[in-house]
Amino acid sequence: MVTVQKLSSVQRPEMFRHLKTLTPEDRRLRFGTYMLDGALQQYVSRIDFTRDKVFGIFGDDRSLVGMAHVALDRNRQYAELGLSVAPAQRGKGYGLALLNRGQLSAVTRGYTTLFMHCLAENKIMTHLAQKAGLKLVIEQGEVDALLELEATSPAAVAREAIEDQLALADVMIRQQFTWLYRRPLGAA
């Protein structure tokens, strides 16, 4: 089971570190253009946590290995999802877990459409979008992927609350193991 955490503004440094792990080609595929470290820093610093939602997956070493940014457009009622997974962590289902968590967040907030945009050459994202049931529209070297979302329901809100609690429990357990194994033998 993959645990997806909600991220907050205090975790901006971890988000930046994660994005820096992406190769130049991965950055181009993720953002549609080449992104130097300074541009990544600006992107992270401009995430509006009062409006948008950001989710992450942490590795065994407690580093952020995948993240999804759900940009919520209140006027047009669509949620745009962008995600990335560190190259060494791909193939473990992290991308789909992040996409599904972003989708659930959009549903519980009353959004009607999940939207993803990528370059047509981004085979990983187009495969992921198809796997998750998004409809692909390919035009002039770019892909728009759309999914009409289910209506908000008490069941979706409850599912999101449960996922948030499981993620919180996962963080607490990992922290306890970290503390346990850092203590010298014989220490109280």
In a domain, 188, yes or no: no
Question: pLDDT at position 77, please?
Answer: 76
Residue at 82: amino acid letter: G
Residue at 150: amino acid letter: E
Question: pLDDT at position 186, please?
Answer: 55
In a domain, 25, yes or no: yes
Look at residue 93 and give its three-state secondary structure.
coil
In tens, the pLDDT along 129-165 reads 999 999 999 998 899 999 999 998 999 888 888 888 8
CATH at residue 123: 3.40.630.30
Structural domain tally of the chain?
1
Element (H or E) spanning 116, and its range? strand 113-119
In a domain, 89, yes or no: yes
Pairing mode, if any, of strands 64-73 and 78-85?
Answer: antiparallel
Distances (CA, A) of 135 to 93, 98, 143, 147, 171: 20, 18, 10, 6, 35
| Enclosing domain of residue 149 | 5-182
In a domain, 19, yes or no: yes
Question: pLDDT at position 91, please?
Answer: 92
In a domain, 77, yes or no: yes
Stretch 32-49: mean pLDDT? 95
**Please, what is the average pLDDT of the chain?**
90
Instruction: Report how far residue 69's alpha carbon sits from residue 44's, in angstroms, rounded to the nearest whole number.
Output: 10
In a domain, 187, yes or no: no
Return the exposure string of 137-173: e unless at least 16 CB atoms fall within 10 Å of the residue's CB, then b. Answer: eeeeeebebbbebeeeeeebeeebeebeeebeeeeee
In tens, the pLDDT along 59-97 reads 988 899 999 999 988 776 789 999 999 999 999 999 999
Higher pLDDT, 105 or 180: 105
For residue 105, is pLDDT > 70?
yes
